[in-house]
Amino acid sequence: MDTLGLIGRYIAEIGKDLPRKNRHDIEAEILSALEDMLRERSQKTGNTVDEQMIVEVLKEFGPPRKVAASYQPDRYVIEPHLLQGFLTIIKVILPIVAAITLVRLGVSLGQVELTYDNVFEVVFLGFADFLGMAFSALGSILVLFVIIQRFLPEFESKEQDWDPRDLPQVTTRNRVEFGSTILEVFAASLGIVIFNFFPQVISIGYNAGGAWTIGFVAIAFRKAMITTILSDTFFGYLPTLTILWGLLILLDVVLLRRGRWEIWSRWVSLSIRVASITMAVVMLAGPALVAIDSGWLIAAGFPDVLAARLLTNFFQQGTVAILVLTIIWNLVAATRLLVRLTGRNLSPALEKFSHP
């Protein structure tokens, strides 16, 4: 049957709004149901399966969004077609909030005497700070998505006028993941803006009152110190990183606009992934990307030796972890692209891996 034609486009459109966890199982179930309906219709009418019969069966089965909604809870704050994008962003934002909280916790520990009571109080306040930031971030993202779905609705034809032949030329094999693509554009844009125009966001310093801060430092009337956390080596890599991020943004915008992967876009993406892996390996093997160490902090007046070591270790190991994760992330993406570019009749395991 024409599973890569109208049926493939129909299932791909449904899959956009399905939870990734069981998307493949649901798509297989829908495909099986459609094939059974077509087989029964063909036997009943004595006609072979053609495009007209497929259109009639798909219309009976229902509009893609309505079918996808039947696999979701009846009541929801975020519409099913936006839910996966919302969850994708949440999965990335929460670890970032946790990392920021750990940095602030390290700075707070560096400003107190490390007694049991003081450490307990700082950790407790740090946990409360994490909860506050997490709920604030979740609330802001939730409000944003509610505004999008309320004031920028995605207009679609009335159910009785719905025609499967009007579906976009997208199948499960070339479907673009909305949530992860939007997140990638956001992250790359943020990297370009912060590192090129606001490097003071990643600085450490203290004001005249002796309070250590990370990020934007409010300079007091009296003498204050501020320095960037990242080294000159990192900023030497920045022009190349900016080009890679810019190319990634451009490709993602094109993908969102076209709504599907094509051979040329997969090759372009593969090239960007390989270049990103190479860049991360070079940065990982090269000179240190962090400009400060515990000795520098202590000499500058940091009040506690242990806290200074913990803080600098966090920065140093954090940059290594980010580079390693970048390599793994791009390696997985590159492997999926290669599987898609070279594979035709893929096994179920490879099919699921190459397009989760």
Least reliable range by pLDDT among 91-100, 180-189, 296-305: 296-305
| Angstrom distance (rounded) from CA 241 to CA 255 | 21
Instruction: Indicate if the pLDDT at residue 77 is higher than 70.
Output: no
Is the pTM higher than 0.85? The answer reads no
Q: Is the pLDDT of residue 44 over 80?
A: yes
Residue 131 has pLDDT above 60, yes or no: yes
pLDDT at 92 over 90: no
C-beta separation of 269 from 337 below 8 A: yes
Residue 27 has pLDDT above 60, yes or no: yes
- For residue 136, what pLDDT band results from cuts at 50, 70 and 90? confident
The length of the chain is 356
pLDDT band at 52 (very low <50, low <70, confident <90, very high): confident
The residues with which 225 forms a beta bridge, in sequence order, are 206
CA nearest 216: which of 230, 229, 202?
202
Which of the residue ranges 38-52, 94-108, 149-163, 236-250 has the most confident prediction, judged by mean pLDDT?
236-250
Measured between alpha carbons, how far is 282 from 303 in angstroms, rounded to an integer? 35
Asked if residue 82 has pLDDT above 70, the reply is: no
Average pLDDT of the chain, as a whole number:
78
Mean pLDDT of the 51-59 span: 86
Which residue's structure tokens are 């900023």?
A: 235
Q: How far apart are CA 335 and CA 354, in angstroms?
A: 8
- Predicted local distance difference test score (pLDDT) of residue 283: 95
Strand partners, 290: 230
pLDDT digits (tens, 9 = 90+) for 160-177: 566 776 676 666 678 887
Position 240 confidence tier, pLDDT thresholds 50, 70, 90: very high
The highest-confidence range among 85-89, 116-120, 196-200, by mean pLDDT, is 196-200
Whole-number pLDDT of residue 286: 92
**pLDDT at 282 > cutoff 90:** yes
Distance in angstroms (rounded) separating the CA atoms of residues 83 and 45:
41
**For residues 174-184, average pLDDT:** 79
What pLDDT shows up at residue 276? 96
- pLDDT digits 0-9 by tens, 142-165: 776 676 666 544 434 444 566 776
